[in-house]
Amino acid sequence: MNTTVPLAIDVRLDGSYEEALERVADALKEQGFGILTRIDVKETLKTKLDVDFRDYAILGACNPKLAHRALSARPEIGLMLPCNVTVEATGGGGVLVRIADPRVMMGVGGFENDPEIAAVASEARALLAQAAVQLSTSSSTREG
């Protein structure tokens, strides 16, 4: 039996890429997450490979309280942090936001059987899902 586990919460937004980046940062902030890193994939690929790519960013989002709990329980969990969020322009106009599911990421890291890490991942997932709901007002959301 082949089962697929959703890796992320997807949200499709209307509007510009730059507006979407701001909306994502605001929605995450409402849930206690800050943006620690922003990788501009388009710029990086142009600089490093001289190739053109659509507007695409990888955001490293962190909720300090949850990160502290996780790192206190298992210092090696730092390899799985921060929570990744991608923002990319789509061909038909609009923007696709993908928010990685922390529970899935902890499973990939082999931490799914640690009760404290599972609790932190579930709490993080719930907060990120709330950010997705906030973003999806007048947009479409799906797990994927």
Query: Facing residues of 13 across strands?
Result: 95
Type of residue at 76: E
With H, G, I as helix, E, B as strand and everything else as coil, classify residue 11.
strand
Domain 8-143 sits in CATH at 3.30.310.70
Task: Give the model confidence (pLDDT) of 77-109 as tens digits.
Answer: 999 999 999 999 998 889 999 999 999 988 888
Is residue 12 exposed (0-12), middle (13-18) or buried (19+ Cβ within 10 Å)? middle
- The residues spanned by each domain of the chain are 8-143
User: Does pTM top 0.85 for this prediction?
Assistant: yes
Task: Give the model confidence (pLDDT) of 20-60 as tens digits.
Answer: 999 999 999 999 999 999 999 999 999 999 999 999 999 99
Give the relative orientation of helices 17-30 and 115-135 as an angle to the nearest 10 degrees.
130
Is residue 33 exposed (0-12), middle (13-18) or buried (19+ Cβ within 10 Å)? buried
For residue 119, give the nearest of 110, 106, 132 by alpha carbon: 106
